[in-house]
């Protein structure tokens, strides 16, 4: 079994080390590129949302590298992500690829299929093995996310922010040649040390922006056109409302209650949106308020074109913005997004926040 899974930000780093540790052969699709997107758009249904198109591109590229099994998490509504696996299977069959799908559907769809899939993937024989394997995976995910967050902080404060970029690029290059959990942990430690040695400005107070919105567009740097780096180079401190760590903590680790911060976000969203709207719509509204309470200067909502839950959230965010005089910008991403226009909008937004901050400070 040669396992592959679609890209979503740095998930592949933890995923690769984790499955290699369990003795699976893992084939990571090449990092998302315009070629990936082009292939995806060509073969995927026309009106589907962006993540599926990129995933199709990822799959084709990994199949060409020899993968024969695809791992995907599932869901059962109301967001259309739940039907991704079926559509993807159809598209790949059309292209003549014979490939296995392992879809991890939520527990309420039945214990047995989930258990069988997990045992197969984790090469586990009993529940204890699953827990031990899960712990390793959890450590890896946490560390990989922490590293990215650290790089975001350093970039905002660094005297030369491009130094951070080169360290991170170097890290990405090494990841591909690293094998297994221990080596990966060491690599991350090394990178962290390097990041900590980057020279930083003294007495600098950066603008703080929270990234909220649809999970895939927030996490995957190719789709959001490296928004974290772009803002970082403008001296802005960026924090993402959704990371793999937050997702795992909410959906797996604290199952079925949900994690503390996410529950707090539900509570914050309550005056505006009482019930779920699918995807991360409710979390988006909650996150905007969460960042406001934490003293952030503004938030940016990211969504792929036609994302149903985020459209509902967007119409509510305008009221949130008005009620608290809190700047919120929405950026919609699809295969047509042009980088120049995108950058202009980011610069304008950052300028606005700077000016607002100065006004508060100097009257």
Partner 1 sequence: MRVKVGIPRGMFYHDYYLLWKRFFDNLEVEVVMSPKTNRDILNTGVQACVDEACLPVKVFHGHVDYLKDKVDYIFIPKFISLYRGEYCCPKHLGLPDMVRHSIDGLPQIIDTEVNLRKSNRRLKKAVLETGRYFTNNPRKILKAFDEAYDKYKQYVRLMWQGVIPIDLVGFYDSQHLKTNENKNSYKKRILLLGHSYNVYDEYINMNLANKLKNRNIKVITTEMIDEEIARYYALKLPKRMFWTHGQRIVGGAFSLIEKKAIDGVIYLSAFGCGLDSVLMDLVERKAKENQIPYTLLTIDEHTGEAGLNTRIEAFIDMLEWRDGDETNFPTHG
Residues in the site for partner 1, rule: CB under 8 A?
45, 47-49, 76-80, 82-83, 85-87, 89-90, 109, 272-279, 281, 305-309, 311-316, 318-319, 332
Give the CA radius of gyration of the chain: 20
Task: Decide whether 9 or 286 has the Cβ nearer to partner 1.
Answer: 286
Under 8 Å between Cβ of 298 and 234: no
Beta strands in 193-234 (DSSP E): 207-213
The phi and psi torsions of 359 (rounded to 5 degrees) equal: -60, -40
One DSSP character per residue, 291-354 reads HHHTT-SEEEEEEETT-HHHHHHHHHHHHHHHHHT--EEEEEE-TT--HHHHHHHHHHHHHHHH
Under 8 Å between Cβ of 264 and 249: no
Task: Decide whether 83 or 146 has the Cβ nearer to partner 1.
Answer: 83
Distance in angstroms (rounded) separating the CA atoms of residues 56 and 40:
5
Task: Decide whether 109 or 129 has the Cβ nearer to partner 1.
Answer: 109
CB of 302 to partner 1, least distance (A): 13
Closest by CA to 187, choosing from 200, 197, 178, is 178
Distance in angstroms (rounded) separating the CA atoms of residues 329 and 279:
20
Task: Decide whether 139 or 321 has the Cβ nearer to partner 1.
Answer: 321
CB of 92 to partner 1, least distance (A): 13
CB of 85 to partner 1, least distance (A): 7
CB of 310 to partner 1, least distance (A): 8
Task: Decide whether 39 or 237 has the Cβ nearer to partner 1.
Answer: 39
Question: Residue 2 in 3-state DSSP?
Answer: strand
Query: How far is the first Cα of the chain from the last one, in angstroms, to the nearest whole number?
Result: 65
* CB-based contacts of 222, cutoff 8 Å, min separation 6: 7, 31, 32, 33, 36, 37, 54
CB of 329 to partner 1, least distance (A): 14
Task: Decide whether 77 or 363 has the Cβ nearer to partner 1.
Answer: 77
Integer CA distances (angstroms), 50 to 12, 34, 198, 335, in order: 19, 13, 36, 7
Task: Decide whether 109 or 335 has the Cβ nearer to partner 1.
Answer: 109
Between helices 84-94 and 50-64, what is the axis angle to 10°? Answer: 50
CB of 195 to partner 1, least distance (A): 38
CB of 110 to partner 1, least distance (A): 10
CB of 101 to partner 1, least distance (A): 10
Task: Decide whether 63 or 273 has the Cβ nearer to partner 1.
Answer: 273
Task: Decide whether 50 or 144 has the Cβ nearer to partner 1.
Answer: 50
One DSSP character per residue, 76-107 reads -SSSGGGGHHHHHHHHHHHTT---EEEEE--G
Question: Reading across the β-sheet that carries 236-240, which strands appear in turn?
Answer: 236-240, 207-213, 298-304, 328-333
CB of 48 to partner 1, least distance (A): 5
């Amino acid at each position: 079994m040669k396992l592959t899974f679609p890209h979503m930000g740095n998930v592949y780093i933890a995923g690769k080390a984790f499955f290699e540790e369990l003795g699976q052969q893992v084939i990571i699709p090449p990092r998302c590129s315009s070629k990936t997107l082009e292939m995806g758009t060509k073969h995927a249904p026309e009106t589907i949302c962006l993540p599926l198109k990129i995933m199709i591109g990822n799959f084709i590229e990994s199949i060409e590298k020899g993968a024969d099994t695809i791992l995907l998490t599932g869901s059962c509504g109301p967001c259309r992500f739940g039907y991704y696996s079926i559509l993807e299977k159809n598209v790949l069959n059309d292209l003549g690829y014979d490939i296995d799908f392992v879809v991890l559907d939520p527990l309420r769809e039945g214990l047995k299929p989930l258990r069988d899939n997990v045992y197969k993937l984790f090469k586990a024989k009993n529940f204890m093995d699953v827990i031990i394997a899960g712990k390793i995976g959890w450590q890896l995910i946490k560390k990989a996310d922490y590293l990215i967050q650290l790089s975001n902080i350093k970039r905002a404060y660094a005297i030369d922010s491009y130094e951070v970029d080169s360290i991170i690029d170097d890290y990405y290059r090494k990841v591909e040649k690293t094998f297994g959990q221990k080596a990966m942990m060491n690599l991350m430690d090394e990178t962290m040390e390097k990041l900590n040695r980057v020279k930083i400005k003294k007495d600098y107070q950066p603008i703080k922006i929270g990234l909220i919105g649809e999970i895939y567009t927030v996490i995957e740097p190719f789709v959001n056109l490296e928004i974290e780096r772009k803002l970082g180079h403008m001296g802005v401190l960026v924090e993402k409302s959704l990371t793999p760590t937050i997702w795992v903590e909410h959906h797996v680790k604290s199952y079925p209650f949900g994690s503390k911060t996410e529950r707090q976000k539900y509570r914050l969203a309550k005056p505006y949106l009482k019930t779920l709207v699918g995807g991360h719509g409710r979390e988006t509204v909650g996150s905007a308020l969460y960042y406001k309470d934490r003293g952030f200067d503004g938030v940016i909502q990211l969504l792929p074109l036609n994302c149903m839950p985020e459209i509902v959230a967007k119409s509510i965010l305008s009221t949130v913005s008005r009620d608290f005089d809190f700047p919120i910008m929405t950026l919609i991403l699809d295969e047509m997004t042009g980088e120049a226009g995108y950058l202009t909008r980011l610069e304008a937004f950052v300028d606005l926040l700077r000016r607002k901050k100065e006004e508060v400070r100097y009257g």
